[in-house]
Amino acid sequence: MAVSSRIQKETQRMLQKPDPGISATPHEDNLRYFNVIIAGPQDSAYDGGVYKLELFLPEEYPMTPPKVRFLTKIYHPNVDRLGRICLDILKDKWSPALQIRTVLISIQALMSAPNPDDPLNNEAAEHWKRNEKEALDMAKSWNRQYAMN
């Protein structure tokens, strides 16, 4: 599977100048597949947690968005139980001008600012709308249980 020079450049840049709280390392045997670690953003329900994600660049990248999902369980209205993420730039707002790092920074930002009006996890979204403090407590509890071991 050939890897474009763009993917190589993006990978080099992320390895040489990582963004705070984000690391993305390509697999040795498949440079389109990345192990991602995102630190829970400060002052969020996920503060102190370490979240593992997987990111895969389809053959059509950068014309199509990367496939990204959480491997660490997270209680969040925009992440379903399979770890799939509801984020506009991963769907209809994707642009080839965006990069892997832009996607990861956006996911980290989404962790700080859940959007219960565009849910992937309807149960969590309803919880957020009904009682935000209780939903945040649940997110903190899951953070301690799944992301802080």
Q: In Å, how far are 9, 79, 107, 132 from 100, measured between CA atoms?
A: 11, 19, 11, 31
- Measured in residues, the chain has a length of 149
146 phi and psi angles, rounded to 5 deg: -110, -20
Q: Tell me, what DSSP letter sits at residue 29? A: S
* Residues designated as active site: 86
Q: How many whole angstroms from its chain centre is CA 52?
A: 9
Cα–Cα dist 108/106, whole Å: 5
